[in-house]
């Protein structure tokens, strides 16, 4: 008996990388899988190549599982509706959604174009909304379902050159939280995963030093998509029925439960705040608790082994 026996899962961006690993892991756990992949590049400049999704379907069928390929775009409302309907038409229902699909259009913020901003928001944030919204109705009707949405430490911590990506990924955290809160009464769960794994996105980052090249090689060897996949499968299974509205990081053999914004310190002034009292009190009182400008690499500065 597998964790996902009898379940139907939709995995977006499942033709390559982490999405592919999740689709295969879902199938190994007993799920019937809709393998969604548009076949586009990281920048989203091309589409229509359904072969990656078809190849994953063939791999699943070769291991004795059931799967169907879907080439709709997550950024389109109708496309998301169609991929969820494909699960229902082919397998009778939809039990799990894993929103992996993504693109990159990195640029320093002061040089970022409107097109670069819009493209990333459309695929990541609107894409998660489109697919989750399409699946929410049948899940609520059957009073069961689980969603996993991919966030990133680029949003949770920050990363230079990724204002569009970071904004989308933080938006996904808020989206997931509200889906979880509203879905609780209907037994529909929603969680986020921030993956640390070697993918096309990581590989696209230019290497600027021998030290960076060495770090990337360690990353490639020690943090693979296959580390992330079983955590996503678990979160979509009934074994995780008590987990919803949370954020997990997966980095090699490490699993993190991530913090969520909550009050850290408070300052009260019974006489009310003036410009002068703010200037005199706020920074000195909060100095040790204020966050600095560390990026993801500085926060996670040990090898994922």
Q: Which residues are catalytic?
A: 165
What secondary structure does DSSP assign to 43-59, as a single string? TS------HHHHHHHHH
Question: In whole angstroms, what is the distance from residue 246 CA to residue 84 CA?
Answer: 24
> Are the C-beta atoms of residues 131 and 97 closer than 8 Å to each other?
yes
Question: In whole angstroms, what is the distance from residue 230 CA to residue 171 CA?
Answer: 25
CA distances from 73 to 36, 57, 79, 113 (A): 8, 18, 5, 22
CA distances from 176 to 76, 99, 223, 246 (A): 19, 11, 25, 8
Per-residue burial over 156-175, b if 16 or more Cβ lie within 10 Å, else e, is: bbbbebbbbbbbbbbbbbeb
């Amino acid at each position: 008996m597998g964790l996902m026996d009898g379940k139907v899962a939709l995995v977006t961006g499942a033709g390559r990388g982490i999405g592919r690993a999740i689709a295969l892991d879902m199938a190994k756990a007993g799920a019937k899988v809709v393998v969604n992949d548009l076949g586009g590049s990281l920048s989203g400049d091309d589409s229509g190549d359904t072969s990656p999704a078809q190849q994953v379907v063939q791999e699943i069928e070769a291991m004795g599982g059931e799967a169907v390929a879907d080439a709709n775009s997550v950024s389109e409302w109708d496309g998301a509706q169609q991929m969820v309907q494909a699960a229902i038409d082919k397998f009778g229902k939809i039990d799990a959604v894993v929103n992996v699909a993504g693109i990159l259009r990195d640029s320093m913020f002061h040089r970022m174009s409107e097109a670069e901003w819009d493209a990333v928001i459309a695929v990541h944030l609107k894409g998660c909304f489109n697919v989750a919204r399409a699946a929410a109705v049948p899940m609520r009707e059957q009073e069961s379902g689980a969603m996993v949405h991919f966030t990133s430490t680029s949003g949770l911590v920050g990363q230079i050159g990724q204002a569009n990506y970071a904004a989308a990924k933080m938006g996904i955290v808020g989206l997931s939280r509200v889906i979880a809160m509203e879905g609780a009464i209907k037994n529909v769960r929603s969680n986020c995963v921030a993956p640390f794994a070697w993918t096309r996105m990581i590989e696209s980052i230019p290497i600027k030093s021998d030290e960076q090249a060495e770090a990337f090689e360690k990353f490639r060897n020690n943090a693979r998509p296959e580390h992330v996949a079983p955590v996503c499968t678990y979160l979509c299974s009934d074994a995780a029925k008590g987990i919803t509205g949370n954020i997990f990081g997966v980095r090699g053999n490490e699993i993190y439960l991530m913090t969520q914004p909550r009050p850290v310190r408070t300052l009260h002034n019974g006489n009310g705040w003036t410009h002068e009292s703010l200037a005199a009190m706020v920074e000195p009182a909060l100095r040790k608790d204020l966050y600095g400008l560390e990026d993801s690499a500085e926060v996670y500065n040990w090898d994922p082994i």
